[in-house]
């Protein structure tokens, strides 16, 4: 993941001169978006998810305080860093802005060098926060989501499925005879194979809400929200076939001359509701069955 790209700054100010001055200052280093009122600021923030918003406090119709309140109320924009930039220069105005959740407060008339320095510092903090979030959610070896991330997303998707009555499919995928692979080719080769399997699993998922995560060891979990059993089974079967197509030699496998995987999957349906862990156990049991009945296959529970 690249954290070094250009960052986006939204400037929201009703005064055209201020917008222009700030835009000219920031443009050489950042992508600048402009809004001339509160409504526009909210719309652009939701659409472009900027890294930072320079938000004027005193604007007609909707002031900066209200814009900040609405940004915080929407999960999508709640974490965007906001700096108030305001003609209200009393200490209590500044304290109030910070109390509301702004990261900083700059009084007008502003000094251009100070604005640039503060923007740079906050953007650096945004970058660092993103890196930490990435490290907390991504498995270092495979670059898939890690177990912690999976647990969060699974719980949220399970809740969503229960509320909406839409199906939720879950599959566990496990490399066959991976111990023998490591023993035969060595652990570094095992790591490379695991990365290749992970990449293939991730690229076999097409929808933005689908998730592939490393559940542990050589086990990958696939989450397919809003996907019926037959459709999910097909996606997972395609992934397993694509892994065989990698043609990674596995001379020590009793299953095939190349690396294979087994998978077990199940779908939550509203007719027979299950808990998160029941659905997971169902997929796990089917993975066990796939292993027992010869490996290199997908077992799916078509009906509860």
Ligand X SMILES: Nc1nc2c(ncn2[C@@H]2O[C@H](COP(=O)(O)OP(=O)(O)OP(=O)(O)O)[C@@H](O)[C@H]2O)c(=O)[nH]1
Catalytic residues: 218
CB of 109 to ligand X, least distance (A): 58
| Burial (CB count within 10 angstroms: exposed 0-12, middle 13-18, buried 19+), residue 137 | middle
Is residue 178 at the binding interface for ligand X, with CB under 6 A as the rule? yes
CB of 292 to ligand X, least distance (A): 9
Is residue 199 at the binding interface for ligand X, with CB under 6 A as the rule? no
Kindly tell me which residue out of 30, 250, 295, 297 binds ligand X, with binding defined by CB under 6 A.
295
Kindly tell me which residue out of 146, 169, 182, 227 binds ligand X, with binding defined by CB under 6 A.
182
Rg (C-alpha) for the chain, rounded Å, is 25
Considering the complex, state which of residue 70 and residue 184 has its C-beta at the smaller distance from ligand X. 184
Is residue 256 at the binding interface for ligand X, with CB under 6 A as the rule? no
Print burial letters for 173-203: b (CB count within 10 Å at least 16), e (below 16): bbbbbbeebbeebeeeebeebbeebbbbbbe
Residues in contact with ligand X, shown as a per-residue x/- string from 123 to 142 under the rule CB under 6 A: ------------------x-
Is residue 290 a contact partner of residue 257, using CB atoms and an 8 Å limit?
Answer: no
CB of 260 to ligand X, least distance (A): 9
Is residue 190 at the binding interface for ligand X, with CB under 6 A as the rule? yes
> In a 3-state reduction of DSSP, which class is residue 8?
strand
Considering the complex, state which of residue 40 and residue 253 has its C-beta at the smaller distance from ligand X. 253
Kindly tell me which residue out of 51, 94, 157, 174 binds ligand X, with binding defined by CB under 6 A.
174
Give the pair of three-digit tokens for residue 216.
């542990």
- Given the rule CB under 6 A, which of 3-11, 172-180, 239-247, 267-275 is the region that contacts ligand X? 172-180
Is residue 244 a contact partner of residue 175, using CB atoms and an 8 Å limit?
Answer: no
> In a 3-state reduction of DSSP, which class is residue 43?
helix
- Helices 38-48, 64-73: axis angle to 10 degrees equals 30
Is residue 1 a contact partner of residue 121, using CB atoms and an 8 Å limit?
Answer: no
Work out the angle at residue 233's Cα, subtended by the Cα atoms of residues 230 and 234, and round it to the nearest 5 degrees.
Answer: 90
- Phi-psi region at 146: left, alpha or beta (left = phi > 0; alpha = psi -120 to 50): beta
Run of H or E including 213: strand 211-216
# residues contacting ligand X (CB under 6 A):
17
CB of 190 to ligand X, least distance (A): 3
Could you tell me whether strands 261-268 and 298-300 are parallel, antiparallel, or unpaired per DSSP bridges? parallel
- Given the rule CB under 6 A, which of 12-20, 145-153, 189-197, 237-245 is the region that contacts ligand X? 189-197
Is residue 177 at the binding interface for ligand X, with CB under 6 A as the rule? yes
Kindly tell me which residue out of 74, 112, 155, 191 binds ligand X, with binding defined by CB under 6 A.
191
Is residue 174 a contact partner of residue 291, using CB atoms and an 8 Å limit?
Answer: yes
Kindly tell me which residue out of 27, 148, 179, 292 binds ligand X, with binding defined by CB under 6 A.
179
CB of 134 to ligand X, least distance (A): 19
CB of 299 to ligand X, least distance (A): 14
Is residue 30 at the binding interface for ligand X, with CB under 6 A as the rule? no
- Contacting positions for ligand X (CB under 6 A): 141, 174-180, 182, 187, 190-191, 194, 217-218, 291, 295
């Amino acid at each position: 993941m690249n954290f070094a790209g250009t960052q986006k700054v939204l400037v929201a100010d009703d005064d055209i001169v201020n917008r222009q001055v700030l835009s000219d200052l920031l443009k050489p280093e950042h992508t600048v978006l402009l809004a001339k009122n509160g409504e526009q600021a909210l719309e652009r923030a939701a659409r472009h998810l900027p890294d930072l918003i320079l938000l004027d406090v005193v604007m007609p119709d909707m002031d900066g305080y209200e814009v900040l309140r609405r940004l915080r109320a929407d999960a999508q924009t709640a974490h965007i860093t906001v700096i108030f930039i305001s003609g209200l220069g009393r200490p209590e105005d500044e304290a109030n802005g910070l109390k509301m959740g702004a990261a900083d407060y700059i009084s007008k008339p502003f000094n251009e060098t100070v604005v640039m320095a503060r923007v740079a510092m906050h953007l650096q903090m945004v970058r660092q926060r993103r890196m930490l979030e990435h490290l907390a959610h991504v498995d270092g070896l495979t670059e898939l989501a890690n177990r912690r991330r999976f647990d969060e997303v699974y719980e949220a998707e399970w809740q969503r499925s229960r509320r909406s009555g839409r199906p939720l499919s879950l599959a566990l995928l496990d490399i066959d005879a991976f111990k023998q692979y490591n023993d035969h080719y060595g652990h570094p080769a095992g790591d490379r194979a695991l990365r290749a399997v992970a990449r293939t699993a991730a690229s076999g998922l097409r929808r933005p809400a689908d998730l592939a995560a490393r559940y542990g060891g050589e086990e990958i979990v696939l989450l397919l929200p809003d996907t019926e059993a037959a459709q999910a089974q097909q996606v997972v079967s395609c992934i397993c076939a694509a892994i065989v197509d990698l043609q990674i030699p596995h001379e020590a496998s009793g299953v095939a001359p190349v690396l294979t995987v087994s998978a077990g999957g199940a779908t939550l349906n509203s007719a027979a509701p299950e808990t998160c862990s029941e659905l997971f156990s169902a997929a796990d049991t089917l993975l066990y069955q796939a292993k027992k009945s010869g490996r290199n296959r997908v077992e799916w529970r078509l009906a509860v």
